[in-house]
A and B are shown apart, each in its own frame.
Chain A
Amino acid sequence: MERSDAELIAAVLKGDAASFEPLVEKYSPRLFATARRYARRESEIEDIVQEIWLKAYHKLASFRGDAPFEHWLMRMAVRTCYDFLRGHQRNRESPFSDLTEPESDWLDRFVAQPETASEHAEAAKQLVARLLEQLSPPARLVITLLEIEDRSVKEIAKLTGWSVPLVKVRAFRARAEMRRILARLAKEKYL
C-alpha cells in the first residue's frame, strides 16, 4: 500500500532516511521542470534540484503539515532557484549580434508580418530564453511566475516570501526591464 506524504515525513523524522526516497521520486519531476525554467545546463539543473532536496531533508522538522508538502517544497524550490539566479548573474547583458539564423529569420518575419510569426516556432522559444537570461534575477523570477506560469500576485508572494506590494512593484519594473531589452534588440538588429 502506498504511504501518504505525512506518513513518509513522520518516518523520516523518526530516523528512517529511506522513507525520503519515495518523496524524492514523486516530486522530482516537478522540481526538474521548475529548475529548467531558470537554468539551461543540465548539470546546473541537477545541482539546483539536489540542493532543494538536501535543504528539504534538513528542514523537514520545520514542516508543520498544515499545508500540502508540495507547497512547502515548491516554496523552497523557488527560493533556491532565485538564489541560483543571484549567484549566476555575471555576463547577463550579452549582445544580440550573435543571434542564430533561425532566430534572426523569425524576427525578420515578425517585422514584416507580425501576425504570421508563430509562438510555436523553435526560434521564438530560443529568443525568449535569450531574453529571460538578460533579465535581472528578481525580474526573471517575477516574469516567469506571473506571465509564464500564470500565477497570482498572492501566490507569488507566498512562494517568494516577498510582500504583495513588493511583488507588484517588481512585476512593474520587470515588464519595463523586458521592454528595454527588446528595444535594445530592435536597435542592434535594425538600426
Chain B
Amino acid sequence: MNLEQLQTILLAAAKANPPGDRVPYAFGKRILARLKDQPALDLSALWARALWRAAAPCVALTLLLGVWSFVGDSSNSADAAMSSGEDFSQHFEQTLLAAVDESEDVW
C-alpha cells in the first residue's frame, strides 16, 4: 500500500468536505442569557478586591520593618547613641524644621 498516496487522498478528502457552519436555533440568545447570568464586570469591585489583597502584604511589611527597627535600636549600644548626642528623631525634626529656623533668622 502506498502510504504517501493514501495520506494525500485522505487529506484531499478532508479538504473536499469542509464542516458545516450551521448554528443551533437561538444560539445568540442563549449566549446573551449566559452573559446576563454572570455577575457584571464591576471595575470598582475589582479595584477594591485588589486593594484588599494588597493590604495583607503591606501590614506584614509594616510589622517586619517595625520589628527590625526595634531590634536594630536595642542592639545599638547606648554608648554609640550617647556619643552621637542625638537620636534619629532629633535629626528628623531638625531637617523638617530647617526651613522654619532659617526664616526665623531672617526676621
Contacts and interface: CB of A to CB of B under 8 A. Distances in A.
Interface string A35-65: 0110000100010011001100110000000
B58 interface: no
Contacts of B53: none
B32 A18 contact: yes
A140 B32 CA distance: 32
Most chain A C-beta atoms within 10 Å of own C-beta, residue among B1, B21, B22: B1
A32 B35 contact: no
Interface in B8-34: 9-24, 27-32, 34
Interface on chain B toward A: helix, strand, loop, or mixed SS? Answer: helix
Contact of B14 (A15, A49, A125, A186): A125
A148 interface: yes
Contacts of B5: 114
Contact of B10 (A15, A21, A30, A124): A124
Nearest to B12: A119
Contacts of A179: 3-4, 7
A25 B10 CA distance: 33
Given A128-B14, A131-B10, A179-B7, A25 B2 contact: no
B21 A127 contact: no
A59 B49 CA distance: 19
Given A28-B23, A33-B19, A186-B1, A17 B32 contact: yes
15 contacts: A25-B28, A28-B23, A28-B27, A30-B21, A32-B22, A36-B19, A46-B24, A54-B38, A114-B9, A120-B16, A121-B13, A124-B9, A128-B11, A128-B13, A131-B10
